Amino acid sequence: MSSRPAPASVQNPLPKATAWETLQVLRDVELPMIAKGPIIRRPKVVGAVERLGIEGRAVKRMQAVSEKYGRGPLMLAVPGKNMATVLDPDDVHRIIEETPEPFATAETLKRHALKHFQPKTSLISHGEERTQRRQLNEQVLDNGHPIHRMAEKFVPVVQEEADELLRLADSKGGTLTYPDYLDAWFRVVRRVVLGDSYRNDKQLTELTERLRARGNFAFLRPEDTEGRDELIRQIRAALEKGEPGSIAEFMNNVPKGDDAVPEQQVPQWLFAFDPAGMASIRGLALLASHPDRMAEAREQIQQESQEKAPLLQRLRGTVLESLRLWATTPMILRETTTEVEFEHGVMPQGTTVLIFAPFFHRDDRNLEFAHRFAPEIWDKPRTREDWPLLPFSGGTGICPGRHLVLLLTSNFLATIISKRQVELTSHSLEPGNLPSLLNNYRLEFQLRP
């Protein structure tokens, strides 16, 4: 009676880090990311990570690992769990392009975190369910178009709320703080996604944030099924209402599969618009610290002033640079559905694959612009031949709402900088040597006519 042959990943394994090296990676890379809050940020921890330069230390740790092990991927010595970190740009491109098979987005830890508020979202679905849910997201968010088909209705909303924010800052002697900025930003989000009647519905935003906070603990905290059901109920009611000029209205006119579950796709958008707010105010800080870039952005605003929904590529590039420099999704997760062969060995089925975006975004061994503000790199689409920069992930799992986020954030910033002079008063950003993290919660500006 012959015995079953050992799996290929046993016969031809990938390189594996020592226990000490694994502890160093977990300490310097994984632990700070978890401590900051993977689903919703913890402001005090973000402040500490900024002050101590911990994110820069994480990049240096990954550089040291790659210097020793070369291309990888590198298996980590985590007891009871197959886990690998990606070291090579070609492997990054391959993994994001070969999603969801054999690199599924429905990674185990991610599923446990997101089920607290959106258990049937496309991000943690697989097979036919993922196909239908992903397709619905792509259709409604207008995945393939830089200018959303409803942009002419969205842009006035953005401008109205930005003007209201400026009036509030004026009443405070010209001071603009992050909490005021975020309040205005989420008024935009609620009006665009659900409709004008939700403008002041902070309760919905607060409920979403409370459930996201539970998601920070993944499987370590029980699900608040009552709160989650209430969130889904409110979103379902908003979709049924379908207010004119909102994405809810647009979604009602889009064909859906039986497993699409529209009301469970919307919480992900409300979640994603939070880091979009972080990225845009950090973008404002970049512009305020680079007068030449501010002048370029203002010139482009003037050139496109007659457009009802302007592209504003330089401001889009500003937000993309903010996301490159200070990634709001620092760890991109995948999980292998089969054994996968790489140049240096075979990765086991069920392996959690870690792509640490800041390692690639801030690798000064390979990028001359690693630590400076370079919005011009986004003037044309990046291809597989380019170094991997992943502000919205990439490949077949790329964020379907990226163009909508850039449309709204660029027009929000355009309203502010076209009507006010902006001085960053909370930080001093050194052009050419930008910090490894910028604490958005402490950002403060002085606005002048």
User: Sheet harboring 421-424: ordered strands across?
Assistant: 175-177, 444-448, 421-424
Tell me whether residue 27 is in a domain: yes
In this structure, the strands spanning 103-104 and 340-342 are unpaired
pLDDT level of residue 280 (50, 70, 90 thresholds): very high
Mean pLDDT of 157-175: 98
Tens-digit pLDDT profile for residues 396-447: 999 999 999 999 999 999 999 999 999 999 999 999 999 999 999 999 999 9
Whether 6 shows a pLDDT value over 90: the answer reads no
Pair of tokens at residue 396:
């077949």
Nearest alpha carbon to residue 436 among 4, 58, 78, 6? 58
What pLDDT was estimated at residue 5? 72
Mapping DSSP onto H, E and C, the string for the chain reads CCCCCCCHHHHCECCECCHHHHHHHHHHHHHHHHHHCCCCCCHHHHHHHHHHCHHHHHHHHHHHHHHHHCCCCEEECCCCCCEEECCCHHHHHHHHHCCCCCEECCCHHHHHHHCCCCCCCHHHCCHHHHHHHHHHHHHHCCCCCCCCCCHHHHHHHHHHHHHHHHHHHHHCCCEEEHHHHHHHHHHHHHHHHCCHHHCCCHHHHHHHHHHHHHHCCHHHCCCCHHHHHHHHHHHHHHHHHCCCCCHHHHHHCCCCCCCCCHHHCHHHHHHHHHHHHHHHHHHHHHHHHCHHHHHHHHHHHHHCCCCCCCCCHHHHHHHHHHHHHCCCCCEEEEEECCCEEECCEEECCCCEEEEEHHHHHCCCCCCCCCCCCCHHHHCCCCCCCCCCCCECECHHHCCCCHHHHHHHHHHHHHHHHHHCEEEECCCCCCCCCCCCCCCHHHCEEEEEC
pLDDT band at 3 (very low <50, low <70, confident <90, very high): low
Whether 2 is covered by a domain: the verdict is no
pLDDT band at 218 (very low <50, low <70, confident <90, very high): confident
Instruction: Give tens-digit pLDDT for 13-42.
Output: 999 999 999 999 999 999 999 999 999 999
Q: How confident is the model at residue 72 (pLDDT cuts 50, 70, 90)?
A: confident
The two three-digit tokens of residue 276, written as one number: 């979009």
Structural domain of 260: 8-448
Number of domains in the chain: 1
Residue 276 falls within a domain, yes or no?
yes
Q: Is residue 156 part of a domain?
A: yes
Answer whether residue 148 is part of any domain.
yes
Domain of 422: which CATH number? Answer: 1.10.630.10
pLDDT reading at 1 higher than 60: no
- Is 189 inside a domain boundary? yes
269: in domain: yes
Determine the Cα–Cα distance for residues 272 and 192; give it in Å rounded to an integer.
14
* CB crowding 284-304: b at 16 or more within 10 Å, else e: bbbbbbbeebbebbbebbeee
Residue 343 lies in a domain: yes
Given pLDDT bands bounded at 50, 70 and 90, which one contains residue 8?
confident
pLDDT digits (tens, 9 = 90+) for 118-162: 999 999 999 999 999 999 999 999 998 999 999 999 999 999 999
The predicted model gives 246-269 an average pLDDT of: 96
